[in-house]
Amino acid sequence: MLNIGHRGAAGEAPENTLASFLLAIKQGATAIELDVHVSADGEIVVCHDATIDRTTDSRGAIADLTVEQLKQADAGRWFNKAFTNERIPLLGEVFDAMPVDFPINVEIKSNKHPQVVQKLIALMQNKARTNSVIVSSFGYEVLYALKRAEPEIRIGLLYDKPIDYRALAEWNKVKLYSLHPHYKLVNHDYAKDVIAQGYMLYPWTIDNEVRMKELIENQVSGIITNFPGRLNQLLVASDQ
């Protein structure tokens, strides 16, 4: 079962920073989840929001800022002074900081399909990440475009309401790798059905230990959490 650090160890470090990702691994995460947008100069940038207002000491839309401008922002101090001078990472920098086979869940936030699709494919191929990355999104069209352009890439559907995932895959003639539902949609029967269909099941975002234990018992494929250290203790205790 994967212990997936949500934006790293976002409960204890500034989200979507190298410090957060490295802390997640230190705490026992066996995968990380992160979010991406495309900068004004066409680079894939790791950040959850479309702007840097909430998670840095600067302001502006990522799509309107160059990497040079984005790198001037402090992405750590807002969380805690101990993280002062942490910077917004590029996706390529995160790839370089992790072992090549370390699982990374890349969530696409941008709706600029052609730009993000081609740039992500090129980066994954250049960094030999085709087999270690799962690309997820609430925007299914960008996932389908990605899969059609590069069939080897693994894609996963994000959702917070019930969906007919089998019909979606059939209608769009694509092979899904994983499902990423809100954790409240997952019970024993749901998990059993999804896994029986051959999909990986990665519910999000679970920080409560009671709910973590339930999902471990339901044998989901992985759990996305802001506190990978907390989940690691439960997984060790359950021998998963």
CA torsion 203→209→211→212, rounded to 10°?
40
**What are the structure tokens assigned to 51, written together?**
């702007």
Tally the residues of the chain. Answer: 240
Give catalytic status of residue 182 as yes or no.
no
Q: E-assigned strands of the chain?
A: 2-6, 31-38, 44-46, 104-108, 133-137, 154-159, 178-181, 200-201, 222-225
83 close to 111: Cβ distance less than 8 angstroms: no
CA torsion 150→156→160→166, rounded to 10°?
90
**What are the structure tokens assigned to 75, written together?**
């992405």
Q: Concatenated DSSP letters for 150-177?
A: -TTSEEEEEESS---HHHHHHHHT----
Please give the Cα distance from 45 to 47 (Å, whole number).
6
37, 48, 180, 182: the catalytic one is: 48
6, 113, 182, 188: the catalytic one is: 6
Give catalytic status of residue 48 as yes or no.
yes
**What are the structure tokens assigned to 223, written together?**
């759990």
Residues noted as catalytic: 6, 48
